[in-house]
Amino acid sequence: MTDVLTVTRTFAASRELVYEAWTRPEHFSVWFGTEAVDVPLDTLSMDVRVGGAWNAVMHLPDGNKIQWVGEYTEVGPPERLAFTMSDDPSNPARVPVVVVLAEVGGGTEMTLTQTGSGFTEEQHARTVAGYNGFFDAMEKLLAAQA
């Protein structure tokens, strides 16, 4: 079982732009879930403040939907954002996620850490691959804004 998942990516964009990708609904809806998944803007709500809630509905290619919910636990623009998330709105247990943004030569290094998931090695690998798909879509969004 793996309890800590970390994904680090470097983007050719400012910390402010990367932070906005996480906190502005019109940007978040573009990259969250990869390019193969639709997150309609009207299904997304983000109250980006400590204690504020967020939720999003992913429309999968097979017609199924996933409803994500969570709460912001730290809001420190443009270098830190922490929140909880779950794809089971009826379950009060939520996985904590922390995103740290650091300025590096030519852009921003983003480190996402998710704890408390208790994944098997296979689930861990699939989740890392999923996040990397999300961040591939984020990279395209950020390149279009540069």
In sequence order, what are the beta bridge partners of 84? 96
- Contact indicator for 38, 14 with CB cutoff of 8 Å: no
DSSP state at residue 87: S
Q: Average the pLDDT over 120-133 and give the result.
A: 88
Domain ranges of the chain: 2-145
User: What global pTM score does this model have?
Assistant: 0.93
Amino acid at 60: L
* 125 Cβ contact list (under 8 Å, min separation 6): none
Asked whether residue 1 carries a pLDDT value surpassing 70, the answer given is no
Residue 116 pLDDT class (50, 70, 90 cuts) = confident
* 133 Cβ contact list (under 8 Å, min separation 6): 34
DSSP H or E run through 79: none
**2-145 has which CATH code?**
3.30.530.20
Q: Average the pLDDT over 14-29 and give the result.
A: 97
Structure tokens given for 22? 């996480």
Asked whether residue 86 carries a pLDDT value surpassing 70, the answer given is yes
DSSP H or E run through 92: none
